[in-house]
């Protein structure tokens, strides 16, 4: 058996079921081995940023790593921004990056680059297999490293000759580790903090799934502590019947207002809050002056277990506060981002997965969908735009029985628009809504906020997505995705209903802003 065959069998044996791929010459033996192992599904992505973002979406929804297959340094480099988002999300993910044959590297052939440096910039684990006999145990170690806990990006570099040489055999999975248990004295210290003043519990990571949310809600009911969710959660379970949760705001002043007066800040799977950017005259740390910070559970620790233990101490008889079922009324008239949010809230299907990259157009979405049937909300964890369509791809591969909604700002959608082709190729049940405001609207705001001189025509033209206007329906149809456009709220509701009723991918371009 050659290295590639042993690798693919090992990945399948370790529970890796999908490989989001954009291969080249150095990966041909890996590609050739896929037919023999149907348990590993190869999914072609036409840009590496789609492959890495899809693996992120897959890992967020399953808790297990998908693989990517990438072509040397340049292929990995094309995937870096979404690997950065995956790293911030602590998503388990294994990159397999083909490299030149070991004997070929000294010739500095055109695709030679500092692949290791690129890999290390996003990966918690990097290994280059040097013999075919090592590939399988290296892959099993890579899967284990990706799983953590906490989860993370692992990168296995696979030289072409190691891939094609015989002498390999599959390796068994490396047993996974459970998250470490939070020591009793820590829980006791945090228990005291819940009654020591104005207390906020900032929830993140695994605390944002139902068991963590319900335990946190019981603590809040009994102690009067307020709950907040980290600004950009990897995966937040929300909707009717779950405890509702406000997210810490993106804008520094709003986040400051949410935390004002807090004297005890408890971190449950979240990091101490910081401002997204520095602004003249505003602090970088969002922890109020004099506030004591307590870490109940750091990433990699059993945050749900710790919250449950704390709830038993603080709130043995309290019940979690469930969000009531309620949906907005369907609006009429000219479509706006606010009305689009109401339509989405009115029609969001039970068990939907929302990949949210709506940016400024998404302001109204949390309130409009709060009482919709239970769903998962996936957000832009690392701030590198171009994530939403790929993450939706991976979520749909992971959860074929659920509706996936990709809520996309037009500028962000363009980074990785070729994901639509994979939506069509794989017939994924994804409805993409493009919020067409024809601008990088947030940058209009940021221009003022950083105190730059008022932008003139040259400055503003860098935020303007008109001239020419983007025709998303044509782009979608050109990649095999049925598409429609809506300028009216009723029309948008009709199109959304139709898209959700029909299997397979759809795109609706929601005209929510004037061009230019
Ligand atoms: C990879 C990457 N490149 C550039 C940026 C800077 N950036 C932040 S928001 C933005 C434009 C967002 O425009 P759009 O997605 O249309 O959303 P809108 O602001 O209009 O709601 C840009 C370019 C970024 N965050 N990430």
Ligand 1 atom closest to 411 (CA): 16
pLDDT at 516: 44
Three-state DSSP at 376 gives strand
User: Rounded to the nearest 5 degrees, what angle is found at the Cα of 12, between the Cα atoms of 9 and 17?
Assistant: 145
Strand partners, 268: 203, 297
Q: Which of 81, 407, 440, 514 is the best mutation target for the ligand 1 pocket, counting ligand atoms within 8 Å of the beta carbon and taking the most?
A: 440
The binding-site residues of ligand 1, defined as CB within 6 angstroms of any ligand atom, are 81, 359-361, 383-386, 409-412, 437, 439-443
Which residue, 433, 370, 422, 362, is CA-closest to 396? Answer: 422
Say if residues 230 and 89 touch (Cβ distance below 8 Å). no
Ligand 1 atom closest to 81 (CA): 1
Ligand 1 atom closest to 384 (CA): 26
Residue nearest to atom 12 of ligand 1 (CA): 440
CB neighbour list of residue 127: distance below 8 Å, 6 or more residues apart: 138, 141, 142, 155, 156, 157
Ramachandran area for residue 8 (φ above 0: left; ψ -120 to 50: alpha; else beta): alpha
Ligand 1 atom closest to 408 (CA): 15
- Residue 320 Cα, ligand 1 centroid: separation in angstroms? 37
Ligand 1 atom closest to 444 (CA): 19
Say if residues 255 and 285 touch (Cβ distance below 8 Å). no
Ligand 1 atom closest to 361 (CA): 21
- Residue 407 Cα, ligand 1 centroid: separation in angstroms? 14
CA 19 – CA 12 distance, rounded (Å) = 10
Q: Is the peptide bond before 154 cis (omega within 30 degrees of 0)?
A: no
Which residue, 464, 410, 399, 400, is CA-closest to 432? Answer: 410
Ligand 1 atom closest to 413 (CA): 15
- Residue 141 Cα, ligand 1 centroid: separation in angstroms? 36
CB neighbour burial string for 70-94, b if at least 16 within 10 angstroms, e if fewer: bbbbbbbbbbbbbbbbbbbbbbbbb
- Residue 368 Cα, ligand 1 centroid: separation in angstroms? 23
Three-state DSSP at 409 gives strand
Q: Phi and psi (nearest 5°) for 482?
A: -60, 140
Q: Which of 87, 337, 442, 459 is the best mutation target for the ligand 1 pocket, counting ligand atoms within 8 Å of the beta carbon and taking the most?
A: 442
Q: Which of 383, 411, 435, 448 is the best mutation target for the ligand 1 pocket, counting ligand atoms within 8 Å of the beta carbon and taking the most?
A: 411
pLDDT at 452: 80
Which residue, 94, 91, 19, is CA-closest to 57? Answer: 91
pLDDT in tens, 413-446: 999 999 999 999 999 999 999 999 999 999 988 8
Please give the distance of CA 281 from its chain centroid, rounded to a whole number. 31
CA 360 → CA 5, 435, 492, 513, distances in Å?
A: 47, 9, 19, 11
Residue nearest to atom 21 of ligand 1 (CA): 360
CA 445 – CA 459 distance, rounded (Å) = 13
CA 365 – CA 371 distance, rounded (Å) = 11
Q: Which residue has the tokens 């990091």?
A: 271
CA 53 – CA 84 distance, rounded (Å) = 9
- Residue 301 Cα, ligand 1 centroid: separation in angstroms? 33
Q: Is the peptide bond before 428 cis (omega within 30 degrees of 0)?
A: no
Q: Which of 385, 386, 516 is the best mutation target for the ligand 1 pocket, counting ligand atoms within 8 Å of the beta carbon and taking the most?
A: 385
CB-CB neighbours of 468 under 10 Å: 7
Give, rounded to a whole angstrom, the gap between the first and last alpha carbons of the chain: 60
CA 235 – CA 63 distance, rounded (Å) = 11
Ligand 1 atom closest to 439 (CA): 20
- Residue 40 Cα, ligand 1 centroid: separation in angstroms? 34
Q: Which of 79, 384, 412 is the best mutation target for the ligand 1 pocket, counting ligand atoms within 8 Å of the beta carbon and taking the most?
A: 412
Q: Are strands 226-229 and 199-203 parallel, antiparallel or unpaired?
A: parallel
Ramachandran area for residue 91 (φ above 0: left; ψ -120 to 50: alpha; else beta): beta
- Residue 362 Cα, ligand 1 centroid: separation in angstroms? 13
pLDDT at 513: 83
CB neighbour list of residue 501: distance below 8 Å, 6 or more residues apart: none
Residue nearest to atom 11 of ligand 1 (CA): 440
CB neighbour list of residue 391: distance below 8 Å, 6 or more residues apart: 53, 54, 56, 57, 60, 355, 378, 406
CA 93 – CA 153 distance, rounded (Å) = 5
Say if residues 235 and 203 touch (Cβ distance below 8 Å). no
Residue nearest to atom 22 of ligand 1 (CA): 440
Residue nearest to atom 14 of ligand 1 (CA): 411
Provide the mean pLDDT of the chain: 97
pLDDT beneath 50, residues of the chain: 516
């Amino acid at each position: 058996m050659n290295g590639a065959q042993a690798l693919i069998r090992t990945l399948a044996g370790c529970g890796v079921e999908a490989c989001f791929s954009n291969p080249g010459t150095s990966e041909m033996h890996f590609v050739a081995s896929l037919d023999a192992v149907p348990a590993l599904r190869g999914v072609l992505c036409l840009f590496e940023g789609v492959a890495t973002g899809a693996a992120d979406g897959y890992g967020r929804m399953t808790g297990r790593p998908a693989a990517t297959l990438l072509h040397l340094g340049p292929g990995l480099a094309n995937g870096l921004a979404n690997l950065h988002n995956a790293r911030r999300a602590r998503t388990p993910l294994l990159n397999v990056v083909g490299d030149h044959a070991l004997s070929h590297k000294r010739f500095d052939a055109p695709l030679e680059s500092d692949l290791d440096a690129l890999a290390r910039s996003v990966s918690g684990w990097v290994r280059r297999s040097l013999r075919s006999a090592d590939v399988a145990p290296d892959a099993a170690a890579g899967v284990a490293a990706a799983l953590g806990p906490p989860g993370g990006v692992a990168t296995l570099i696979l030289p072409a000759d190691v891939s094609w040489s015989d002498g390999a055999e599959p390796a068994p999975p490396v047993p996974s580790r459970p998250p470490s248990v939070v020591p009793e004295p820590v829980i006791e210290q945090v228990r005291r903090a819940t009654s020591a003043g104005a207390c906020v519990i900032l929830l993140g990571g695994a605390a944002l799934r139902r068991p963590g949310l319900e335990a946190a809600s019981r603590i809040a009911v009994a102690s009067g502590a307020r709950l907040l969710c980290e600004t950009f959660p990897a995966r937040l379970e929300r909707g009717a019947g779950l405890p509702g949760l406000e997210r810490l705001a993106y804008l520094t002043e709003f986040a400051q207002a949410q935390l004002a007066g807090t004297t005890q800040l408890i971190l449950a799977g979240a990091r101490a809050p910081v401002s997204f950017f520095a602004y003249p005259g505003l602090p970088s740390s969002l922890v109020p002056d004099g506030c004591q910070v307590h870490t109940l559970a750091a990433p990699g620790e059993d945050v749900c277990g710790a919250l449950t233990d704390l709830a038993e101490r603080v709130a043995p008889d309290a019940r979690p506060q469930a969000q009531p079922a309620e949906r907005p009324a369907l609006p009429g008239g000219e479509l706006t981002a606010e009305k689009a949010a109401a339509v989405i809230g009115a029609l969001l299907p039970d068990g939907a997965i929302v990949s949210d990259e709506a940016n400024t157009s998404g302001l109204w979405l949390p309130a409009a969908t709060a009482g919709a049937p239970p769903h998962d909300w996936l957000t832009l964890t690392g701030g590198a735009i171009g994530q939403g369509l790929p993450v939706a791809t991976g979520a749909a591969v992971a959860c074929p029985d659920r509706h996936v909604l990709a809520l996309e700002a037009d500028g962000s959608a363009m980074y990785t628009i070729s994901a639509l082709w994979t939506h069509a190729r794989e017939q994924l049940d994804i409805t993409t809504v493009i919020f067409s405001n024809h601008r990088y609207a947030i940058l209009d705001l940021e221009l003022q906020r950083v105190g730059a001189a008022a932008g003139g025509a040259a400055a503003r033209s860098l935020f303007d997505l008109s001239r020419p206007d983007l025709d998303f329906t044509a782009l979608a149809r050109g990649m095999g995705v049925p598409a429609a456009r809506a300028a009216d709220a009723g029309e948008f509701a009709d199109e959304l209903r139709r898209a959700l009723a029909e299997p397979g991918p759809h795109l609706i371009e929601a005209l929510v802003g004037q061009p230019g």
